[in-house]
């Protein structure tokens, strides 16, 4: 791969500008609609992006859209490291940590086995299982960036983001009712909500709808799941390397965005990062991920998405139900 010289940057910027501008406009519209109507911003970005699919076909926007869907995505994943610290993860004790590690690992393995049994590639199960077990759309995008390129990869990623966003919204509504029905105390409820709902925003919404204590615990448990993103990316990249099929150049064991994620977690854990900088990093991460998913939506043909059929939906619903049941059983066993 050739290295772009500094003198070529202006021309490269002009080449990327139209597509990046289109993705930013879609992302801004998605943010506005999400704030006013309360639906997941990723879902709005996907739908609006797909409505502008014509921009990715023989258009001046195509290079910028490709850049947003790949490089901006990686930047957003790296900045997720500013959301957590080692101290926050350790504060809840060993039981929630063990629960998170086991539930994430088992859900991903079961997802890969189920995907293979349903006729899909096991990597599709890794993508959907990782999105379900870790942090929803953000995990889907991060894992997609680490997995090998293949013709159906972007369609699989898009479907996973849509599915996990929809299921996360349903869980935000249904799980608090389940918590009340089962008579859980605030700590147990927080661990359950944080350990099962896919996206961070929906965990926050569900937790604080019950009580401040439940919301705090749910958020911490959820951030522990986010911290699992790094080891899972390492596993995904290792699988990619193992399946290199004799290629002379294999991806690095740790992609640069995974290294950056780990470095930012370590820096954030020192306590030296000012709160405004942390907030800026979180906001920038959110914007990058929304811009990236807008780019993926623009690149995707609706007819391709419509052809996925019922089986992928059943796979993701099954993974979601399995994770909830696993966490409930684990809590009962630890009680």
Residue ranges, the chain, pLDDT below 50: 1-6, 245-249
pLDDT digits 0-9 by tens, 111-145: 999 999 998 888 899 999 999 999 888 888 888 88
Question: H/E/C letters for each residue in 174-239?
Answer: HHHHHHHHHCCCHHHHHHHHHHHCCCHHHHHHHHHHHCHHHHHHHHHHHHHHHHCHHHHHHHHHHH
Instruction: Please give the helix or strand (H or E) that residue 114 lies within, else none.
Output: helix 94-117
CA dist 225 and 215 (Å) reads 15
The rounded distance, in Å, linking the Cα atoms of 278 and 243 is: 38
In terms of phi and psi (left: phi > 0; alpha: psi -120 to 50; beta: otherwise), the region of 309 is: left
pLDDT computed for residue 205 by the predictor: 74
199 phi and psi angles, rounded to 5 deg: -95, 150
Q: What is the DSSP string of 314-329?
A: HHHHHHHHHHHHHHHH
Q: How many residues are there in the chain?
A: 335
Domain residue ranges of the chain, discontinuous segments joined by +: 17-334
The confidence score (pLDDT) of residue 191 equals: 93
Burial annotation 8-25 (CB, 10 A radius, 16+ → b, else e) = eeeeeeebbebbbebbbe
Q: How far is CA 97 from the centre of its chain?
A: 20
| Cα–Cα distance for residue pair 226/142, rounded to 1 Å | 11
Residues 6+ apart with CB under 8 A from 256: 74, 78
Q: Is 0.75 surpassed by the pTM of this model?
A: no
Q: pLDDT tens-digit profile of 242-253?
A: 765 444 345 555
Q: What pLDDT was estimated at residue 185?
A: 92
Q: Left if phi > 0, otherwise alpha if psi is -120 to 50, otherwise beta: which for 209? A: alpha
For the four alpha carbons of 44, 50, 51 and 53, in that order, the dihedral sign comes to positive
Q: Residue 306: what pLDDT? A: 61
State the Cα–Cα distance between residues 162 and 137, nearest whole angstrom. 8
Pairwise CA distance, residues 242 & 265, whole Å:
28
């Amino acid at each position: 791969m050739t290295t772009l010289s500094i003198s070529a940057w202006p021309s490269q910027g002009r080449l990327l500008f139209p597509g990046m501008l289109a993705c930013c406009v879609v992302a801004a519209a998605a943010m506005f609609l999400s704030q006013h109507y309360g639906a997941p911003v990723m879902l709005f970005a996907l739908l609006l992006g797909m409505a502008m699919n014509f921009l990715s076909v023989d258009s001046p926007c195509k290079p910028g859209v490709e850049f947003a869907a790949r490089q901006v995505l990686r930047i957003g994943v790296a900045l997720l490291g500013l959301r957590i610290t080692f101290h926050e993860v350790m504060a809840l004790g060993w039981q929630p940590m063990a629960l998170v590690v086991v539930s994430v690992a088992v859900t991903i393995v079961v997802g890969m086995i189920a995907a293979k049994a349903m006729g899909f590639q096991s990597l599709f199960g890794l993508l959907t299982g990782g999105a379900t077990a870790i942090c929803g759309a953000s995990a889907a995008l991060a894992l997609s960036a680490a997995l090998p390129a293949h013709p159906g990869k972007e369609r699989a990623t898009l479907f996973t983001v849509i599915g996990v966003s929809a299921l996360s919204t349903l869980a935000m509504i249904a799980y608090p009712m389940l918590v009340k029905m089962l008579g859980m105390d605030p700590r147990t409820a927080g661990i359950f909500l944080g350990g099962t709902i896919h996206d961070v925003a929906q965990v926050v919404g569900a937790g604080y709808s019950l009580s401040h204590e439940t919301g705090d615990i749910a958020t911490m448990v959820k951030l522990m799941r986010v911290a699992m993103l790094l080891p899972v990316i390492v596993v995904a990249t290792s699988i990619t390397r193992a399946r290199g099929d004799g290629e002379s150049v294999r991806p690095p064991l740790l992609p640069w965005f995974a290294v950056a994620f780990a470095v930012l977690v370590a820096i954030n854990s020192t306590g030296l990062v000012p709160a405004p900088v942390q907030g800026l990093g979180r906001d920038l991460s959110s914007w990058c991920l929304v811009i990236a998913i807008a780019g993926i939506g623009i690149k995707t043909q609706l007819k391709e998405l419509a052809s996925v059929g019922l089986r992928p939906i059943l796979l993701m619903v099954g993974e979601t139900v399995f994770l909830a049941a696993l966490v409930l059983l684990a809590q009962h066993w630890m009680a």
